[in-house]
Structure 1
């Protein structure tokens, strides 16, 4: 079942999720508070500007009423008025025309710019309540007007430039504070999450080490446990650690029980094999002794004795195989000596060729000896079992090619034995367990229904006892077994090597 992958934009780890989540939350809070502060500041600045407009308008009306100035267009007596702050603008408008104006700034009062006058003349009505208008190059102004009493409209305006600059500064400050707060929140979250998840990482590391322990062997036990400080059930990580320890304890007890069961089984097989050898030898001996008088025996009795001898020999061979596997499992010492693989393979091929005239056996051996340190009898059995397997499980006419060579690219001097046949191949379902015990080929490949299913298991056990590796690959028309052993004088355990 395929698992749905998370969107690319969604953080995958818990630490990143917390970092982005907390940073986003802090940013939202800071932006919200900053937005409220800016809105409040804008309202405050607008109210202050409105107050200045009304104060300017009141002063303008008061002075205008006292002097009762009513001049023609172009008279600039308004520049002499007092009570106006820098940035204020006052004007007198009759109808749609501005007849008088004055602009106050740090350089002193002067006539208002033409674009500002044009903007004032374009306004249809200027009410007594302050509004915001754009006066050309002067920018935004809060403006209000009042009747002068003789048909004219007195206008007063206050610049919003300083207010806008203040608000812009506040916006930049809020943005900077937001970025700083988000960065601090992210950094703080990362530190806190790393600190908080450190026990969880130790628990995960323990689980990973336990997962890497090879559990196939009989003596393998769980050696990695969650430390006591990380298995305290008072917090969430401790609950996970304590649960993992219980799981590992159950697995360890199961492994111990299985190892003990395997030891009892091997002890039983060893004892049974030893006990069976004596009666089997007696049965075989008596059968052979009885057949010495075969001239006096009926044909049916002669046939029965022949079958007794055959089955007793097969039973003895099975007992010997089981006893050998039991000894190899127990790790009993091998009879190590210097062995020439070239001569051994040649002898084994010659022996099997005599027993299988309906097969074609081909050898490809180097001219120089290839020496290994090993048990000669056991290594000979490896070669023999592979050749017997090819003979028994392929039809007549199959060519079996045996090759022995030195691997050119290996880090150590490694001898490689290859046994290839062009038979029908091995069922792919059998390949993963082919070197297991009592594994037999299907009837379409095998011609020997009396096979015990221990031959390849013995091959694997002997090769591994010598520090080597055995592998197989098979397809219709090509089945290949490879055995790799470290050559003499450079005996270093080999790493698993894949088939070429």
Structure 2
């Protein structure tokens, strides 16, 4: 069935012009046929009415039987029109006598009335005895068993119908030519949006992915098609850009991982070759070589562990789900940091809110649901970064509290704030831990990339001011896995504020995380 519905080959314009021309031609031809049939029927009806109204008088039948119709003195021998009347006697024989002009061949009639094939009062058409003329004949009964055949020529009817046919033929030819010319112009005008779409599509195929189809009027079919195609192109362009960005990140990730592994591997290889030399080395040199090898092996082990953790978090991380008191978590982390990093004073205080911007209120419990080990890992990473990337003596403030997601409290995007996770709904109840330092802060260009893997603000990639650059990437992934997010507010010269925003205890963080992943 599909084979029969397949459109013929050729361009859409040609098919439309051909289809419109054929339909219009069929409509004109049908109207001409109907007009021709109606006109011919009307003309024949007029002739039939004339035949039905004419009745030869009784005296004419007697004169025809006696042969007196040819008498020049007989006034009935002349008829005022093209009528011609033929007579049959009571035995059905055709008489030689007839009324009417004999200037042209008459109708072809049988010699016997029984062979005429005519019924009384039913006119019929008969050909002339010679030539291509036609006659309309009508059989009428007469006195004493006689009958007459009244006839009229159809020259007028045939002439009129012939002229109508020629006129219709000329009109049809002119109509077809005009339809082809006008239809081609109208179709070309109607297909201009498609032509523009074709040219734009060719440019897009050539690589200009920023172009869009110009015709998007929702009131037209082509406009609706253009809107759908533009939406598809937007998604394709975003997908291509995301793919290119993903490939760039992957290349950078591989290069950074190779760079991070190359340094300890080079050290291990160098000191191992030194230890394998045959000459005797002093004990202190051997011990130093062993310490360097062990230290670099530990660095490699930590880096591989971080990479494995990131791979696990990127797939489907599994976290413990239990109530977590963020205040107790922060207090333990602050105590540990104070012991291991005495050069950076760390204090613990309540979260600043719009109702209390100075933080004068007392500390209160801030609960969430999640994995306390992983959340402690985030907090330790933030405190470690504050101690590494700020000068000695820089104060670090840890603030804990519950609030609602807003531009001033965290959880949503705003100018100057950086995060790799989607924002939470404004007004959503959240539990927050802030780690703010009074250090030099970060430049905006560095703040935009601070959560990327292996990224370090140090252009020389020196390890004197930080680790491998995976800590914040891991922390952000853990925060997002808990249904929250890790964000940064910073200004050069005014320090950095890292903020861990988590759903407050009550809503299911796992369900919230799945919803955010679906939205993205």
* Superposition TM-score tier, normalisation by shorter sequence: 0.3 to 0.5
Q: TM-score, normalised by structure 1?
A: 0.46
Q: TM-score, normalised by structure 2?
A: 0.45
Larger Rg: 2
